[in-house]
């Protein structure tokens, strides 16, 4: 498996949310369409209650990665998310957040479901890394640290990520020979993104 790009949270620019209600750091995005990226992954700093930005036509996967809960409110429902829990919803839904115990953080995966197939799941670093080479794959370190031994040794801390670019639309799933080590309490999120058209 080729070496992934190493994404350091501390090196990423802080940008304002679309609605100006907060700030985030963008880890990665679809580079195939500069004018209308089909997906992006970012880490949001949740410092105050308020509404989320609207993304019509897109879908959002929202995961609490801070150590405090986040409560989400829709006009007709309420979801209380403890740390490390996720919820997915359409980007144009009217959603606001509350922070009952103070500031927190969230990982956002936002994608166009008409152009991309997306999945987000917790990854067990003790298991082999299986990749579909037709996908862009990210591993995000949520807590602790993780180390990739080969082909290029690198250690990641909280908020950092590795990104493997897709090879081709017809590549098969393969088992990685890469050795991945993690601290005892490390938590990693895996994201796979596959284009629906070539």
The number of domains in the chain is 2
Domain boundary among 51, 76, 111: 111
Q: Residue 29's beta-bridge partner residues?
A: 40
Nearest to 124 by CA among 187, 55, 41: 187
Q: Cα(22)–Cα(42) distance, rounded to whole angstroms? A: 13
Identify whether residues 80 and 24 lie together within a single domain.
Answer: yes
What is the residue-wise DSSP string for 39-57? EEEEEEEE-S-EEPPP-TT
Identify whether residues 98 and 141 lie together within a single domain.
Answer: no
Residue 185 domain boundaries: 115-195
Tens digits of pLDDT across the chain (198 residues): 578 899 999 999 999 999 998 999 999 999 877 778 899 999 999 999 999 999 999 999 999 999 999 999 999 999 999 999 999 999 999 999 999 999 999 999 999 999 999 999 999 988 878 888 889 999 999 999 999 876 678 899 999 999 999 886 555 555 455 678 899 989 999 999 999 975
SS (H, E, C) 159-193: CCEEEECCCCCCCCEEECCCCEEECCCCEEEEEEE
Q: Which residue has the tokens 């602790």?
A: 144
**CATH code at position 171:** 2.60.120.10
Identify whether residues 124 and 162 lie together within a single domain.
Answer: yes
DSSP state of 146: E
| pTM beyond 0.75, yes or no | yes
Question: 1 in a domain, yes or no?
Answer: no
Annotate 87-110 with b (16+ C-beta within 10 A) or e (fewer): eeeebeeebebebeeeebbbbbbb
**164 SS3 class:** strand
Is the C-alpha dihedral spanning 131, 2, 148, 82 positive or negative? Answer: negative
Identify whether residues 35 and 105 lie together within a single domain.
Answer: yes
């Amino acid at each position: 498996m080729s070496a992934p790009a190493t994404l350091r949270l501390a090196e990423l620019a802080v940008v304002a949310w679309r609605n100006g209600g907060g700030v985030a750091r963008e880890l990665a995005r679809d580079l195939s369409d500069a004018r209308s990226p089909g997906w992006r992954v970012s880490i949001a700093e949740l410092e105050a209650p308020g509404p989320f930005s609207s993304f019509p036509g897109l879908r959002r996967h929202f995961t609490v990665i801070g150590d405090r809960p986040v409560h989400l409110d829709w006009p007709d429902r309420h979801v209380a998310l403890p740390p490390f829990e996720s919820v997915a919803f359409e980007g144009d839904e009217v959603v606001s957040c509350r922070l009952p115990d103070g500031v927190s953080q969230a990982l956002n995966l936002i994608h166009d479901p008409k152009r991309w197939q997306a999945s987000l799941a917790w990854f067990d670093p003790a298991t082999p890394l299986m990749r579909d080479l037709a996908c862009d794959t990210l591993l995000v370190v949520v807590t602790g640290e993780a180390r990739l031994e080969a082909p290029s040794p690198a250690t990641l801390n909280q908020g950092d990520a590795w990104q493997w670019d897709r090879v081709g639309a017809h590549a098969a799933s393969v088992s990685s020979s890469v050795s991945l080590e993690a601290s005892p309490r490390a938590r990693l999120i895996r994201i796979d993104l596959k284009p629906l058209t070539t």
